[in-house]
A and B are shown apart, each in its own frame.
Chain A
Amino acid sequence: MLIKNNYHAAIMATPTYRDLVRKRGRLVWSMSVIMFGLLMLVTALAVFTDVLDGQVVPGLNWAIIAAYVLFFLPVVFAHLYLARAGKFDELELQALDEAEDGIYETGAAV
């Protein structure tokens, strides 16, 4: 157990782990806040005001355009995340390597 415990703490202590958590956290939380915020904004504008009611061409108003943006924005964000995910996978492996190197150097475990 001691070996495993040290292993987790060692990973957490590596600069790459901190870098990974910061970079991935910034990306996923900002994309999440943007999507959720837009959804709430569109909903609020549609029910409380008439700013989305104006027609761009007959039959197509801003509300319907906003709805289609909300349908497909998640697809765009999902692919953006997927494109970056490989880099995060590499950082994960690098953090494991650094942690293991650290443990070997201190002779604490493994």
Chain B
Amino acid sequence: MNSTVIGFFVAIIALTLVITWLASRRNVSASEHYVAGGKIKGWQNGLAIAGDYISGATLLGTIGGIALLGFDGFFLGLGSPIAIALVMLLLAEPLRRLGRYTMGDVLARRFDRRQIRTLSALNVITITILYMVAQFVGAGAITSMLLDIPFEAAALLVGVLMLVYTTFGGMLGATWLQVLQMALLAIAFVVLLGLTLAEFNFNPIAMSAGAVEMYGLGAITSQSDSMTGNISTLSMQFGIVLGFLAMPHVMIRFFTVPDTRTARSSAVTATWAFALFYASLPIVAYGAVVLVGRDEISEGDPGGNTAVMLLSELVGGDILLAFMAATALVTIMASLSGMCVAAAGAFGHDLYTNVIKRGEANEKSQHRAARVATVGFALVSLLIALAVQGFNVGFLASLAFAVAASANLPVLLFALFWRRFTISGAVVGISVGLVSSVALVLMSPTIMEENAIFPLGNPAIVSVPLGFLATWLGSYLGRPSEADAQRAVEVTVEAQVDIPAIGDRAHPSN
């Protein structure tokens, strides 16, 4: 293993542990653990939203995808800046007004029933487990490649570090880690882009022109194969963008800021971060294609995950390679940490505090539940990841997005904006969205190969409309009680307007 890489890696781990120690001194309550006490600044939250989403797989996989697959690689990130802008326009402010720690809080505000909180928590846990297992397997593989150690050792290393970061640092620790991740990414990319562009007289189009010259037009176009493959690509895009809106670790970020204005400004920062990050990926990818070559990239890893590392080494030597590798490792751990804290909220806050303890748990036991849930979640995901490492689990990540888009999103949007929405609509909507997206994947070529009953590799284009339809139709199965009708008025008004606590606002005529 390269000693410069080890040196950078040890230094970065030391820095992250110091950050965690500093954050742990403020992690003294359930609110601090889940949402950093709602005191995160707008710019920090914006970078953390980007840090949550930009995982190791996103960073290395998208660059590798563009380098090896041409425009088909673009699809991995094409909708991401749009997804965060949709969150800003449709959800950031209502979520900040209505939620405390979880999506379950928003639904419980609309329907005062334990049943809906339980269902919502189980749904969130399903989504997060699917996503975290996929991320863990990816993180293990990438860490193993970067540090040249066996998969099990790499997964264990990532798992233990994540456990330390999240259990002690909570949401504040995860947030600071993600801000660090984005700062390192910015530095690494500015240097890498500068050195790579210098080889092409600072003309990025010369890179893709070089790629076309070497590998033909396929380097910049989509290599459409079959009709079902093309519809699956469309379905994946549909599911990833809409799923992003309802992913638990994205939603929770809007509970970490003090008010709606900060929620809004943080989404703008995140939109910029996403746009700049994704716009720089093709430049890095085509630089790698021309300077490193496709053969050498796929020799390093058939998925192209090594493309950015090979390019870094070529243009910046050992130092840039080591810095980029350390940045990738922080990226892996920071995004996993954010997800873990969000999942712990569904378990500790929704299930333990509000369902099992019926909201009667004292502050100390809530904080303990938060930490136990965090440890439990990290361990369960790590164990599943170790068990399934031999299988191709890449589809689990897009399944997680499909479940979020099919089961979470319809219920969330209707709860916020539709007064006629009823508890039966919520139950039917979550159930149909969850079952249809999972069942369609089980019947797809991904699982059943040539015996597939459902032809598409991604279910979203069918399961999302089904989820919306079921939520809408289900709402007509029952009549809202008088209390629910009253809550409907309160929630739909509070989704639109900041309602001050009674007594907080002096009457204008006074």
Contacts and interface: CB of A to CB of B under 8 A. Distances in A.
A93 B211 CA distance: 56
Contacts of B500: 96
Interface in B297-311: none
Interface stretch (B6-14, B73-81, B179-187, B468-476): B73-81
Contact of B489 (A9, A61, A70, A72): A9
B81 A74 contact: yes
Contacts of A74: 81-82, 84-85, 271, 274-275
A67 B237 CA distance: 13
A90 to B, nearest CB: 12
B211 A59 contact: yes
Interface residues of B, number: 60
Contacts of A82: 264-265, 268
Interface string A66-110: 011011111101110110010001001001110011001000001
B95 interface: no
A76 B234 CA distance: 25
Given A12-B493, A74-B84, A59 B230 contact: no
Contact of A71 (B267, B279, B508, B509): B279
What's the interface size class on A, roughly?
35 or more
B25 interface: no
Contact of B222 (A32, A35, A63, A95): A63
A85 B498 CA distance: 13
Contacts of A58: 205, 209, 212
Interface stretch (B86-94, B148-156, B383-391, B426-434): B86-94
B201 interface: no
Residue among A7, A50, A63, A67 with the most chain B CB within 10 A?
A: A67
A51 B274 CA distance: 27
A20 B489 contact: no
Contacts of A32: 86, 89-90
B497 A39 contact: no
Interface string A39-66: 1101110111010110101111101100
By Cβ-Cβ distance, the 5 closest A-B pairs, closest first, are A59-B209, A74-B85, A59-B208, A28-B89, A47-B230
10 contacts: A11-B497, A12-B493, A43-B233, A47-B222, A64-B220, A71-B279, A72-B275, A74-B85, A74-B271, A82-B265
Interface of A: 3-5, 7-9, 11-12, 17, 20-21, 24, 28-29, 31-32, 35-36, 39-40, 42-44, 46-48, 50, 52-53, 55, 57-61, 63-64, 67-68, 70-75, 77-79, 81-82, 85, 89, 92, 95-97, 100-101, 104, 110
